[in-house]
Chain A
Amino acid sequence: MSTAFLQPGTDGSQGGAGMPASPELADVTRDNASLRRFLHGLSGVDQVGAEARAAALATRSIKTTAKAWAIDTAISMVDLTTLEGADTHGKVRSLCAKAARPDPSDPSTPAVAAVCVYPDLVATAVESLAGTGVQTASVATAFPSGRASLQTKLHDVHDAVRAGATEIDMVIDRGAFLSGRYLDVFDEIVAVKQACGAAHLKVILETGELVTLDSVRRASWLALLAGGDFIKTSTGKVTPAATPPVALVMLQAVRDFAARTGDVRGVKLAGGIRTTKEAVRYLVMVNETAGDRWLNPHTFRFGASTLLNDLLQQRHKLTTGAYDGPDYVSID
């Protein structure tokens, strides 16, 4: 995987921090009332219908060559993640080695997209990933609760960026969102985007706390208007995390945003995706909802820790015909 795709200015699709995404949308973030009118003016989401559509997409049968393509594509989209209090420098180094060469016995296996760690471990990851093309992502903004002052959150972001993170995963203030203070959420995302500088910003909506699909749609648009490069489902610390109907609504949001502004933003699903079967189903959903333009790591990611091992085992089974079992892939 080339490193070029995440360097600023190379893909030309990024909105500036807090810059209006298109002239017709310039006015909607003027004040809270305008923003509220815009978000509440978005078409509603019928929960039953969205669930039915997500379930129908899950019945696609992906076999042989299609499965092989899907597995490799999914591997290249993984943000290999460790976000535990117990993380060590050693564990991060091990994870980085695996990220660059997920299957040392088969060099045709693609590298993952990024390694995702807490800010204090960014320097270790950057050092281990030097020259591999794998990005270093860091959670920031008082992850996972987001309960800190803006100043502290920005400081957190600066720390990670200074240590060399090229991607920042922030969490939105769900309390502000749910109580209707949309402009506060918007301003915070804009400020974080500015603090990111050249680093890409993924905005975590924590959809498990937003609960309704109407809220997911509104929060998606809010994050896109504010300049988020990606919208991301979850921290992984709250259940439910990524679910098929939520993914569907977020993919519709980036599709509609691109149609309206010409600006192609990404979606990252995180939390609870552990099997190849689920990952392939999500790729089908991307393909048939947003379109194949989104089927690459610039615009679609899986945030995961255990998913990669299942992808590797299924890949091995597809190439050799035999299933090795969990002892043949490394745990970190």
Chain B
Amino acid sequence: MPSTAFEYAPAPESRDIARLKPSYGIFVNGEFRDGRGEAIKTINPADEEPLAEVAEANAADVDDAVAAARKAYEGTWSATSGAERAKYLFRIARAIQERARELAVLESLDNGKPIRESRDVDIPTAAAHFFYYAGWADKLQYAGLGPAPRPIGVAGQVIPWNFPLLMAAWKIAPALATGNTVVLKPAETTPLTALTLAEIIAECDLPPGVVNILPGGPSVGQSIVDHPGVDKIAFTGSTGVGKMIQKSVAASGKRVSLELGGKAANIIFDDAAIDQAIEGIVNGIFFNQGHVCCAGSRLLVQESVHEEVIAGLQERLQTLRLGDPLDKNTDIGAINSSAQLARVRALADSGDAEGATRWSPDCPLPDRGFWFPPTVFTGVSQANRIAREEIFGPVLSVLTFRTPAEAIEKANNTPYGLSAGIWTEKGSRILWAANKLRAGVVWANTFNRFDPASPFGGYKESGFGREGGRHGLTSYLESEGYLAQ
């Protein structure tokens, strides 16, 4: 942000709190051991310095993990009562809370996101998911899925790098609550909090093999997806990989749920509370550097307030503070990897090339690390790449509309359908628009709010299956019931 009379002094959280270890292994059958894949260094995207060495898994490790999960499923976990499973989940939730500071600092180091977000959103929401599904574990017969819904078996889960611990919680908590066992692969660039979660799980005395965590790259993911011993695949990540997974499991009998990309419309009607709508735009696209599948990356503004909204937005963006993710006053952290930075740059350049107008606040970028300034493109047309493709970065594309019907038409004119936002002070317009939008999550007068009780998932190429809420149980249960004689 530009210089002001009131300069905030640096307020960094200490990195010692993360208790970084020099090396991390894989977690199989309740024990840590070296993976037999390549040993890689995970780096801090804010300065490109190595954080720790991680011994990745290979196909043989996947075999071991699936075998351990199968044994745990058949031997103990599927026969463990719901109330007993709940105890473990409550224990894990509390342990996450107890180690919240450590996890938050570790997450910010490994991912590049601001400590404000890892501390206030990622870690508390991860704990909340375990608490929420702990509550369901002994009430599954009342979930509307028949009198005796049954677990599926071994769940292979592959998660992305944008919310490393939170995505692990989204996957593991409902799987365990419903009696399944898990083989989970965290993203290659962000394995550390998942491995700390493994430590927590071990300390909570979860029976060996119920949760196995295998850091690694795409080949490990592929091995999990293809493994004949896996009964269900749950994947969060890109639409491209999602399509490959669906091809791989076709006719294999595996159940699949996919939570993929998005290109959400955030619609500002002219009767919106403008100051709060501007906050919603900022939360929608600049939260977590825009590394959010449900990010409000397409802003649709009614023509009559376009000028006012853009002026207010630009003024607001001048106050965003970009820099050290561990500084408690940082709003915008680092882009997670050089590969992602290259993709964001390439798509932003296509915006210039296709004639949109680029604007960024006056915001110097650090010399080292992966950084991209908050960016707003105005004059974007529905045909431009930046209006159609998921950028997964801090880049907002602004389009205008004249009538509410046009807003809906443009909002739905995308292969994706994960989320959407509506901003209006008129309740009837909220209900009308929410019914017309083809998106799995519709926020009204807010954006990027996550609650474990609320189902989350997509339409169209944003995937299928729901996570969170009662709906999240259906991804991990066979719902056929029986009739007692």
The answer to whether A61 and B11 touch across the interface, beta carbons within 8 angstroms, is yes
| CB interface residues, A 137-193, toward B, < 8 Å | none
A189-203 vs B, CB cutoff 8 Å, 1 = contact: the mask equals 000000000000000
A37-55 vs B, CB cutoff 8 Å, 1 = contact: the mask equals 0000001111011101100
Q: Which of A1-9, A268-276, A287-295 contacts B (4 or more CB under 8 A)?
A: A287-295
Q: Which residue of A lies closest to B424 (CB)?
A: A44
B264-278 vs A, CB cutoff 8 Å, 1 = contact: the mask equals 000000011111100
B1-44 vs A, CB cutoff 8 Å, 1 = contact: the mask equals 00011111111000000000000000000000000000000000
Q: Which residue of B lies closest to A42 (CB)?
A: B274
The answer to whether A69 and B6 touch across the interface, beta carbons within 8 angstroms, is yes
The answer to whether A66 and B8 touch across the interface, beta carbons within 8 angstroms, is yes
The answer to whether B328 and A252 touch across the interface, beta carbons within 8 angstroms, is no
Residues of A within 8 A of B271 (CB): 44
The answer to whether B273 and A44 touch across the interface, beta carbons within 8 angstroms, is yes
Residues of B within 8 A of A73 (CB): 6
- Choice from A48, A53, A252, A292 contacting B5 with Cβ under 8 Å: A292
- Choice from A50, A59, A295 contacting B6 with Cβ under 8 Å: A295
| CB interface residues, B 266-305, toward A, < 8 Å | 271-276, 279-280
| CB interface residues, A 235-289, toward B, < 8 Å | 252, 283-284, 287-288
- The answer to whether the Cβ of A67 comes within 8 Å of any Cβ in the partner chain is yes
- Choice from B6, B7, B120, B280 contacting A283 with Cβ under 8 Å: B6
Q: Interface range on chain A: under 10, 10 to 19, 20 to 34, or 35 or more? A: 20 to 34
The answer to whether B274 and A288 touch across the interface, beta carbons within 8 angstroms, is no
- The answer to whether the Cβ of A19 comes within 8 Å of any Cβ in the partner chain is no
CB distance from B136 to the nearest CB of A (A): 28
- The answer to whether the Cβ of B445 comes within 8 Å of any Cβ in the partner chain is yes
Residues of A within 8 A of B4 (CB): 287, 291-292, 295
- Choice from A49, A61, A292 contacting B328 with Cβ under 8 Å: A61
CB distance from B371 to the nearest CB of A (A): 22
- The answer to whether the Cβ of A70 comes within 8 Å of any Cβ in the partner chain is yes
The answer to whether B272 and A43 touch across the interface, beta carbons within 8 angstroms, is yes
- The answer to whether the Cβ of A320 comes within 8 Å of any Cβ in the partner chain is no
Q: Interface range on chain B: under 10, 10 to 19, 20 to 34, or 35 or more? A: 20 to 34
CB distance from B86 to the nearest CB of A (A): 32
CA distance A66 to B4 in the complex (A): 11
The answer to whether A287 and B425 touch across the interface, beta carbons within 8 angstroms, is no
Given A44-B425, A59-B120, A61-B329, CB of A53 within 8 Å of CB of B276: yes
The answer to whether A59 and B446 touch across the interface, beta carbons within 8 angstroms, is no
- The answer to whether the Cβ of A319 comes within 8 Å of any Cβ in the partner chain is no
B315-328 vs A, CB cutoff 8 Å, 1 = contact: the mask equals 00001000000001
Q: Which residue of A lies closest to B320 (CB)?
A: A288
The answer to whether A66 and B328 touch across the interface, beta carbons within 8 angstroms, is no
- The answer to whether the Cβ of A105 comes within 8 Å of any Cβ in the partner chain is no
Residues of A within 8 A of B7 (CB): 65-66, 69
Residues of A within 8 A of B10 (CB): 63
CA distance A69 to B404 in the complex (A): 49
Q: Which residue of B lies closest to A284 (CB)?
A: B6
Residues of B within 8 A of A48 (CB): 276, 445-446
Given A48-B445, A49-B445, CB of A66 within 8 Å of CB of B275: no
CA distance A59 to B120 in the complex (A): 10
- The answer to whether the Cβ of B470 comes within 8 Å of any Cβ in the partner chain is no
Residues of A within 8 A of B6 (CB): 66, 69-70, 73, 283-284, 287, 292, 295
- The answer to whether the Cβ of A89 comes within 8 Å of any Cβ in the partner chain is no
CA distance A60 to B9 in the complex (A): 11
- The answer to whether the Cβ of B116 comes within 8 Å of any Cβ in the partner chain is yes
- The answer to whether the Cβ of A64 comes within 8 Å of any Cβ in the partner chain is yes
CA distance A8 to B307 in the complex (A): 36
CA distance A329 to B319 in the complex (A): 37
- The answer to whether the Cβ of A62 comes within 8 Å of any Cβ in the partner chain is yes
The answer to whether A50 and B319 touch across the interface, beta carbons within 8 angstroms, is no
| Central interface residue in B5, B116, B425, by most chain A CB within 10 Å | B5
Given A48-B445, A49-B445, CB of A62 within 8 Å of CB of B276: no
Residues of B within 8 A of A62 (CB): 8-9, 11
CB distance from B481 to the nearest CB of A (A): 41
Residues of B within 8 A of A63 (CB): 9-11
Q: Which residue of B lies closest to A291 (CB)?
A: B4
The answer to whether B273 and A60 touch across the interface, beta carbons within 8 angstroms, is no
The answer to whether B9 and A46 touch across the interface, beta carbons within 8 angstroms, is no
Residues of A within 8 A of B273 (CB): 43-46, 49
CA distance A283 to B6 in the complex (A): 9
Residues of B within 8 A of A46 (CB): 273, 276, 425, 445
The answer to whether B276 and A45 touch across the interface, beta carbons within 8 angstroms, is yes
Given A43-B272, A44-B273, A61-B329, CB of A49 within 8 Å of CB of B8: no
Residues of B within 8 A of A66 (CB): 6-9
Residues of B within 8 A of A44 (CB): 271-273, 425
Residues of B within 8 A of A67 (CB): 9
The answer to whether A52 and B279 touch across the interface, beta carbons within 8 angstroms, is yes
CA distance A67 to B7 in the complex (A): 10
Residues of B within 8 A of A65 (CB): 7, 9
Given A43-B272, A66-B6, A295-B5, CB of A49 within 8 Å of CB of B446: yes
CB distance from B428 to the nearest CB of A (A): 15
Q: Which residue of A lies closest to B311 (CB)?
A: A259
| Central interface residue in A61, A65, A66, A70, by most chain B CB within 10 Å | A61
Q: Which residue of A lies closest to B13 (CB)?
A: A61
The answer to whether A49 and B279 touch across the interface, beta carbons within 8 angstroms, is yes
| CB interface residues, B 108-122, toward A, < 8 Å | 116, 120
| Central interface residue in B271, B276, B280, by most chain A CB within 10 Å | B276
- Choice from B5, B272, B319, B445 contacting A288 with Cβ under 8 Å: B319
Residues of B within 8 A of A288 (CB): 319
CA distance A3 to B116 in the complex (A): 42
| Central interface residue in B4, B7, B8, by most chain A CB within 10 Å | B8
Given A62-B8, A65-B7, A288-B319, CB of A252 within 8 Å of CB of B275: yes
CA distance A140 to B8 in the complex (A): 38
Q: Which residue of A lies closest to B120 (CB)?
A: A59
Q: Which residue of B lies closest to A248 (CB)?
A: B275
| CB interface residues, B 27-78, toward A, < 8 Å | none
The answer to whether B274 and A43 touch across the interface, beta carbons within 8 angstroms, is yes
Residues of B within 8 A of A291 (CB): 4
CB distance from A244 to the nearest CB of B (A): 14
Residues of B within 8 A of A287 (CB): 4, 6, 319
Other than A69-B7, A252-B275, give 10 A-B pairs with Cβ distance below 8 A.
Answer: A44-B425, A59-B116, A59-B120, A60-B328, A62-B8, A63-B9, A287-B4, A287-B319, A291-B4, A292-B4
The 8 closest A-B pairs by CB, nearest first: A49-B276, A61-B11, A61-B328, A46-B273, A292-B4, A46-B276, A66-B9, A43-B274
A-B residue pairs in contact (CB < 8 Å), sample of 22: A43-B274, A43-B275, A44-B271, A44-B272, A44-B273, A45-B275, A48-B446, A49-B445, A50-B275, A53-B275, A53-B279, A63-B10, A63-B11, A64-B9, A66-B6, A66-B7, A69-B6, A70-B6, A73-B6, A252-B275, A287-B6, A292-B6
Which residues of A does B touch, CB under 8 Å?
43-46, 48-50, 52-53, 59-67, 69-70, 73, 252, 283-284, 287-288, 291-292, 295
Which residues of B does A touch, CB under 8 Å?
4-11, 116, 120, 271-276, 279-280, 319, 328-329, 425, 445-446
